[in-house]
Amino acid sequence: MVCVSEFCANAIAHTASGRGGVFTVEVDCPRDGVARIAVTDDGGPSVPAPAAGDLMADGGRGLAMVAACTTRWGFCDGYPGRTVWAEACWPVAVPSPDRPSPRPVPSPGWTGGPAA
């Protein structure tokens, strides 16, 4: 949520989206262990980059925070403007080919029948 908020704030502050334009937000899980967010705005004159320098400045640390909180991030220009994206990844279990998959464990408070 913090990264989506940062991308949206940047779209409003640094692109034509903040001067009467629009931006779109996409949230996706393209595969197990990966969450992806993307914000497409109306484009602006500069490219997204983490600010270097004064940690006590009033702003400029948002993309550095995004880089610290995600596995990777980037941007691409195109139509209708620019898309800034970030992915967060986590490990997922890989079943062994010679062992059956474990049965799912019901969560606490689960009131259904036996686990399948």
pLDDT tens for each residue of 75-110:
999 887 999 999 999 998 877 777 766 566 555 655
**E runs forming strands in 9-112:** 24-31, 34-41, 72-77, 82-89
What is the C-alpha R_g of the chain?
A: 20
Residues 62, 86: Cα–Cα separation, whole Å: 13
Tell me if the pTM is above 0.85. Answer: no
Domain ranges of the chain: 2-89
pLDDT tens for each residue of 20-30:
999 999 999 99
